[in-house]
Structure 1
Amino acid sequence: MPKIDLYRNVHMGQRARLFTLSTELGAADISQSSAATEQADGCLAMTRELREHADHEDTFIHQLLRERAPEAADALDAEHIRLDAAFTTLDEQARSLPGTPVDSLPEAQHALYLALNEVISAYLAHLHLEETVAMPALWQYASDAELGAVFAAFRASRTPEEGLEDLRRMLPAVPPATRAAIVRNIVEAVPGQADSTLAALCSTLRPDQRNRLYEDLGVPEVWAASTA
């Protein structure tokens, strides 16, 4: 049975969306009406999400890590301080972008792009530390039951809407077998609501990903058509 990994899938989703955000900001036609506001809002939404994610980890994971592997926990605390400074810089530049004079917009856009990529650079290092230091320490010093309890406590803290959004963010970034296993568990947990649940979960998948999911789940053709 696979080990319980508290970081892997959610981190894959974060990486995918950070890379997409960077690409879209770099290529955006900032001269178009509302484009500056849209790009700024995208950056601000991402820093809000990453701060919220850090709070969740601190609440549900890192307390156990501090008890069992305090040196690893100290390293993560230092990372969070560095990340918060990068988030603050990005937020400040994002908020100023929509009010930038037209002739200064290209340089302001690029400055925001650089600030975003500074966040990405720092955040990737942080994810690597969690995945290669913190998670192995938890595997070594905590039982499967304790790790399962951490995951269950986090899920219980989320509203149905928040839980659905968590899955929509993550599912496009994970491999097909992992995606099918996650969705199968969710669908089987809500008897009589399988079609609507599947449709909600598939809303962020590309058509090829959705078709592969239907295939892996053995979804009847008429059911798949109703959720497309």
Structure 2
Amino acid sequence: MPRVDLYRYVHMGQRERLFALAIEVGAADTAQRDTVVSLTERCLAMTRELREHADHEDRHIHPLLRERAPEAADALDAEHIRLDAALAALDDRARRLPKAPDEELPDAQHALYLALNELISAYLAHLHAEETVAMPALWQTSSDAELGAVFAAFKASRTPEESLSDLRKMLPSLPPAIRAAIVRATLTTVPDDETGRTLAALTTTLDPGRRGRLYEDLGVPEAWALKPMENGRDR
């Protein structure tokens, strides 16, 4: 039976969104000023998300890691130094982009692109360290019950809205069977008359192909979750 993995699925979602953002920044038409503002907002939102993610790990995972595998914890601390610098550099480039004169926008856009890819390089190394050093160290020193308690504590710290956002970010990156298993488990936690609405909300980040496959794997028609609502309740 697979061990509890505290990093795997959330990291898959982060990788997909970082790669997609790099493509977006590189290909954007900065002749449109609303696009310039959007790029700034998207990059700053990404750095906020990554910092928040690091805070969650520091609060919920790393105390156990430092207790059971201090050398692995030290390795992650070293990764944070390079990562913090890359996050700050991307923030700086993102904030400077809208201030650039029109004739300097192409170079400013490319500088933002390079800063984003520098962050991606640092972040991929960080994820690799967590997945190949920290998680194996926790498997060697901690039981699944202890690891499950860490995950449960994180989930308890999230509001329903934050939990929904977490899943929306992660689901597009997962294999179909894993995606269906996570959604199925999530639906068991909501009242019966809310399952359709919850499923529809969970699938807003899935493209039509992935969404259709999910409904097929769940054994329900897509129209079931998308049916009209009346007075805030399912008809």
- TM-score, shorter chain, exceeding 0.5: yes
Match of 2:56 in 1: 56
Q: Following TM superposition, by how much is the alpha carbon of 1:222 offset from its aligned partner in structure 2, in angstroms? A: 4.1
Between the aligned partners of 2:5 and 2:156, the Cα distance in structure 1 is 18
Between the aligned partners of 2:95 and 2:195, the Cα distance in structure 1 is 42
Q: Given that residues 60 and 153 in structure 1 are in contact (C-alpha distance below 8 angstroms), is that contact kept between their aligned partners in structure 2?
A: yes
Q: Given that residues 172 and 209 in structure 1 are in contact (C-alpha distance below 8 angstroms), is that contact kept between their aligned partners in structure 2?
A: yes
**Deviation sequence 1:12-45 (CA, Å, 0-9, x none):** 0000000000000000000113111110111110
Match of 1:46 in 2: 46
Q: Given that residues 4 and 148 in structure 1 are in contact (C-alpha distance below 8 angstroms), is that contact kept between their aligned partners in structure 2?
A: yes
Matched position secondary structure for 2:33: coil
Match of 1:126 in 2: 126
Task: State yes or no: 1:195 paired with 2:180.
Answer: no
Displaced runs of 4 or more, over 4 A: none
Match of 1:170 in 2: 170
Alignment of 1:1-228 (within 5 A): 1-192=1-192, 193-220=194-221, 222-224=223-225, 226=227
Matched letter for residue 168 of structure 2: R
Q: TM-score, normalised by structure 2?
A: 0.94
Between the aligned partners of 2:90 and 2:222, the Cα distance in structure 1 is 46
Q: Following TM superposition, by how much is the alpha carbon of 1:191 offset from its aligned partner in structure 2, in angstroms? A: 2.8
Matched letter for residue 146 of structure 1: E
Q: Following TM superposition, by how much is the alpha carbon of 1:81 offset from its aligned partner in structure 2, in angstroms? A: 1.4
Q: Following TM superposition, by how much is the alpha carbon of 1:2 offset from its aligned partner in structure 2, in angstroms? A: 1.9
Matched letter for residue 127 of structure 2: L
Matched letter for residue 197 of structure 2: S
Structure 2: state its 5+ residue gaps: 229-235
Between the aligned partners of 2:101 and 2:199, the Cα distance in structure 1 is 46
Matched letter for residue 205 of structure 1: L
RMSD, matched Cα: 1.1
Identity %: 71
Between the aligned partners of 1:27 and 1:146, the Cα distance in structure 2 is 45
Matched position secondary structure for 2:41: helix
Q: Given that residues 214 and 224 in structure 1 are in contact (C-alpha distance below 8 angstroms), is that contact kept between their aligned partners in structure 2?
A: no
Across the two proteins, how many residue pairs are aligned to each other? Answer: 227
Matched letter for residue 131 of structure 1: E
Matched letter for residue 22 of structure 2: S
**Deviation sequence 1:85-108 (CA, Å, 0-9, x none):** 110011011001001000000000
Matched position secondary structure for 1:158: coil
